[in-house]
């Protein structure tokens, strides 16, 4: 991408800027950014205030060119450049038609905002709460803006949950929200894969959100090809959390060996996961619904393919770590994903 930008800059400054705008908003989408971050990006890149309005969902966000949120001074001017974002409208507060870069900013920011709005449920107060939750977990949002959002939701302490779909939920652990203002998803168990952050004061929710995103990387689909827990709490990871910092988990020799063994024996991943995660082979056989002797045959075959023993604590630990690193490889951080 950087090489392309350099070449385009030599030919056409506008084309170079457009490519950089595309890369910027694609990065926001890939990182699961919320509506405030998207509108802030539009304002900063365009060099003028930007606002997102969705009257049906009662979502109204306005950012100044320096990235600071500000209330709208009045109704939107119909002459401002604008782009539809589903049921919302994204506008740049400048007179005259949009320039080539403005047009690209509007198009990409509106597309990113539409993706966020599409994953909110319902309309009215629930959707407004979704926008407030996006603001609460935004580490780049000013403290006073996050504080106001917390007060609107009636939160004192809370924790963040991130689903594999990218949906964000904030669950109160302090006083209940005011009547009619229950955050969507509060008090309900996560559906599908989810990472859960720790309980924190409301102004520290970006920390809980970051922890939840890390925990999500440790989740599995719970299938033969990807055995493991579908919901992981960051608080329960303990020292395992440091494995999320491994730069290339798929390059670890034990992970490669595990992948090769799994390719030779489709039953291997679920089997070694059960063996490493239970107290005995009999308990693993029960979990797998296998006869004890059948499991022993599988374990012997797995040990041959892996090259180490599963009967010793050290060997079972190697399997657990290899399975964990494999999940991290399959669920990379946004900056580790291939561009």
Segments forming the whole domain that contains residue 305: 247-336
Q: What is the pTM of this model?
A: 0.66
Q: What is the pLDDT of residues 157-194, one digit of tens each?
A: 888 888 887 788 888 875 544 444 444 444 555 668 99
In tens, the pLDDT along 211-240 reads: 999 999 999 999 999 999 999 999 999 999
Same domain, 151 and 194: yes
Q: Per the structure block, which two tokens stand in for 137? A: 């977990």
Task: Note whether 261 and 337 are within 8 A (CB).
Answer: no
Most confident stretch, 23-32, 60-69, 188-197, 283-292? 283-292
**Domain end among 63, 83, 118:** 118
CA neighbor of 232 nearest in space, from 205, 192, 186: 192
Q: Domain total for the chain?
A: 3
Rounded Cα–Cα distance for residues 307 and 61 (Å): 57
Q: Give residue-wise pLDDT tens across range 97-124.
A: 666 688 889 999 999 888 887 764 334 3
Kindly state whether residues 207 and 189 are assigned to the same domain: yes
**Domain closes at, from 76, 92, 118:** 118
């Amino acid at each position: 991408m950087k090489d392309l930008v350099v070449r385009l800059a030599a030919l056409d400054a506008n084309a170079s800027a457009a490519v950089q705008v595309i890369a910027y908003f694609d990065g926001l989408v890939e990182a699961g950014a919320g509506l405030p971050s998207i509108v802030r990006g539009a304002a900063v890149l365009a060099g003028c205030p930007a606002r997102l309005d969705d009257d049906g969902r009662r979502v109204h966000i306005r950012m100044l060119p320096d990235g600071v949120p500000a209330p709208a001074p009045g109704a939107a001017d119909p002459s401002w450049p604008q782009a539809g974002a589903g049921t919302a409208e994204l506008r740049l507060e400048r007179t005259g038609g949009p320039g080539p870069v403005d047009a690209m900013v509007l198009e990409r920011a509106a597309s990113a905002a539409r993706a966020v709005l599409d994953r909110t449920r319902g309309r009215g107060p629930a959707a407004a709460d979704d926008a407030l939750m996006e603001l609460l977990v935004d580490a780049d949002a000013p403290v006073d803006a996050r504080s106001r959002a917390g007060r609107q939701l009636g939160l004192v302490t809370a924790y963040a949950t991130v689903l594999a779909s990218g949906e964000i939920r904030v669950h109160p652990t302090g006083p209940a929200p005011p009547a009619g203002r229950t955050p969507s998803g509060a008090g309900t168990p996560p559906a599908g894969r989810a990472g859960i952050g720790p309980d924190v004061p409301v102004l520290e929710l970006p920390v809980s959100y970051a922890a939840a995103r890390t925990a999500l990387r440790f989740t599995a689909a719970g299938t033969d090809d990807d055995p493991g827990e579908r919901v992981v709490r960051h608080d329960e990871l303990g020292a395992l959390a440091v494995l999320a910092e491994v730069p290339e988990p798929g390059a670890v020799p034990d992970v490669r060996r595990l992948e090769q063994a799994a390719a030779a024996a489709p039953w291997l991943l679920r089997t070694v996961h059960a063996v490493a995660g239970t107290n005995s082979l009999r308990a693993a056989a029960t979990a797998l619904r296998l006869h004890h002797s059948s499991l022993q045959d599988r374990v012997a075959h797995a040990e041959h393919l892996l090259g180490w023993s599963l009967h010793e604590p050290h060997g079972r630990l190697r399997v657990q770590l290899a399975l964990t690193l494999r999940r991290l490889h399959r669920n990379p951080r946004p900056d580790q994903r291939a561009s």
